[in-house]
């Protein structure tokens, strides 16, 4: 009929937006642990975060009462950075096999 519109029956759902990072690590640091970190689980009753490639983690140790950036959650492995603050955000100082101060900041890079 004249004046009728053809309606498409094909539906294409919108693409899934990329995940938004909870925190990111910045700084002139070696090795390179910079990047976006996403919530990944719990350790010692605190959340821990993994970098998008899962090579580094930010996690809390109740034993050491410190936050760490390292390659394993809950293990004091090299290389690592440590923050004596109770809050995850702030400056992390190099320890065992790392150099330069890392800073954890809220939100994506």
E strand residue ranges, the chain:
23-26, 35-43, 46-51, 57-61, 66-70, 80-83, 90-95, 102-106
In a domain, 94, yes or no: yes
For residue 66, is it within any domain?
Answer: yes
Whole-number pLDDT of residue 96: 87
* Residue 4 is assigned to a structural domain of this protein: no
What was the pLDDT predicted at 109? Answer: 75
**pLDDT tens over the chain, length 109 residues:** 566 666 666 766 666 766 788 999 999 999 999 999 999 999 989 999 999 999 999 999 999 999 999 999 999 989 999 999 999 999 999 998 999 999 999 998 7
Tell me what pLDDT residue 66 has.
96
Rounded to two decimals, the pTM is: 0.82
| Span between the terminal Cα atoms of the chain, in Å | 55
* 63 belongs to a structural domain: yes
The answer to whether residue 74 sits within a structural domain is yes
- Number of domains present in the structure of the chain: 1
* Domain interval for residue 68: 37-106
88 within domain boundaries = yes
């Amino acid at each position: 009929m004249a004046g009728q519109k053809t309606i498409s029956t094909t539906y294409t759902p919108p693409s899934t937006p990329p995940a938004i990072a909870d925190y990111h690590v910045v700084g002139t640091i070696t090795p390179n642990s910079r990047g976006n970190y996403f919530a990944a689980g719990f350790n010692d009753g605190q959340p821990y975060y993994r970098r998008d490639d899962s090579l580094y983690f930010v996690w809390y140790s109740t034993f050491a009462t410190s936050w760490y950036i390292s390659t394993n959650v809950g293990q004091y492995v090299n290389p690592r950075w440590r923050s004596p603050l109770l809050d995850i955000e702030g400056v992390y100082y190099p320890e065992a096999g790392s150099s330069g101060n890392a800073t954890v900041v809220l939100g994506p890079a």
